[in-house]
Amino acid sequence: MAKQARLGAALLVAALAAGCSLSGGQSQNQSHTVTLVTHDSWQVDKATFEEFQKTSGIKVTVSPNGDAGALTTKLVLTKSNPIGDLAYGVDSTFASRALGEGVFAEYRSPEAEQGPQRYKLDDTGRLTAVDVGDVCLNVDTGWFTQKGLPAPASYADLIDPRYKDLLVVEDPATSSPGLAFLLGTIAANGQNGWQDYWTRLKANGVKVDAGWTEAYSQDFSGSSGKGPRPIVVSYASSPPSEQGRTKALLDTCYRQVEYAGVLAGAKNPEDARKVLDFLLSQKFQSQVAEQMYVYPARAGVALPDSWKTAAPLPDKPAQLPADQVQANREQWVQQWRKLVQG
């Protein structure tokens, strides 16, 4: 999930992209250095990560590489000469491609049995779930109250003329949440009905942005950008950051799981496995919600109190089988482009 919905990551990511680690600059044996390749929305409690590095003796350097789609593509293109030892952020919409290309090595973390195994893709252990971030429509509740208009509640509502020119979405060719939303409409309307649905959505004035940041932070009226559109594709976990001004429509959610795995051909696979164990640990998982605005994959991890009402985990999110997504993803995106962008 490139999780663009995670706020406050920019400064930390910029520092890490410049070649910094979270080890406080301490000198460590190069043989105990692990390069963790991530999407741009990686964020972590600095003290928690520094403590792990200090106690483990492993220096972790973080290398951001775009959103989940861009990250997956780069991992595939560099699989013969991996750009790191461990990767985090390949999500369920792109995981089948990475697995099919042999990007990851087999490793079954003992921590996976504490909950992440619920989201396993196969029995090889090549990818292990770290977090869950369901993609859903978000609405600006205040906007609808002021207009005296009921907020939409379903995919079908979006093609109602009452909601003309109110929706902004992300391009599924360039955005992970955009792709998840497209897959959600396919799951809801079927392979024989989704194209007609998007034709009607286009006629009802849907706006398409390249990525989440532009859609949510600039065009969505419920964010700090105070844009003109009160309906946006974002995450079930986005509303807590807006202090009650927005809500997610839980009947429009598509499950997006983010995974981590040791890269095949990693220079330091032994320490990479230890870092993966840490990403699944109680200590790391307990700070996932507040740092990255996603749900922890580990069972029994407490969520912030505000999430109980503002960001409940959807009960029945849509999800297509990974092999079906792998077989049809490129065709579906090309068909979407022809329909929506001409």
List the 246-254 sheet strands across, edge first. 207-209, 167-170, 231-235, 135-140, 246-254
Asked if the model's pLDDT at residue 25 lies above 90, the reply is no
Residue 323 confidence (pLDDT): 83
Question: d(Cα 22, Cα 14) in Å, to the nearest integer?
Answer: 12
Residue 179 confidence (pLDDT): 94
Domains 10-133+256-305 and 135-254+312-341 share a fold: yes
Question: d(Cα 228, Cα 225) in Å, to the nearest integer?
Answer: 9
CATH topology of domain 135-254+312-341: D-Maltodextrin-Binding Protein; domain 2 (3.40.190)
The pLDDT-based confidence of 317 (bands split at 50, 70, 90) is very high
The pLDDT-based confidence of 221 (bands split at 50, 70, 90) is very high
Architecture in CATH for domain 10-133+256-305: 3-Layer(aba) Sandwich (3.40)
Tens of pLDDT, residues 172-218: 988 889 999 999 999 999 999 999 999 999 999 999 999 898 999 99
Segments making up each domain of the chain, as ranges: 10-133+256-305, 135-254+312-341
Asked if the model's pLDDT at residue 81 lies above 70, the reply is yes
The vertex-61 CA angle with 60 and 67, nearest 5°, equals: 120
Tens of pLDDT, residues 258-311: 999 999 999 999 999 999 999 999 999 999 999 998 999 999 999 988 888 888
Burial classification of residue 135, based on how many CB atoms lie within 10 Å of its CB (0-12 exposed, 13-18 middle, 19 or more buried): buried
Tens of pLDDT, residues 42-56: 999 999 999 999 999
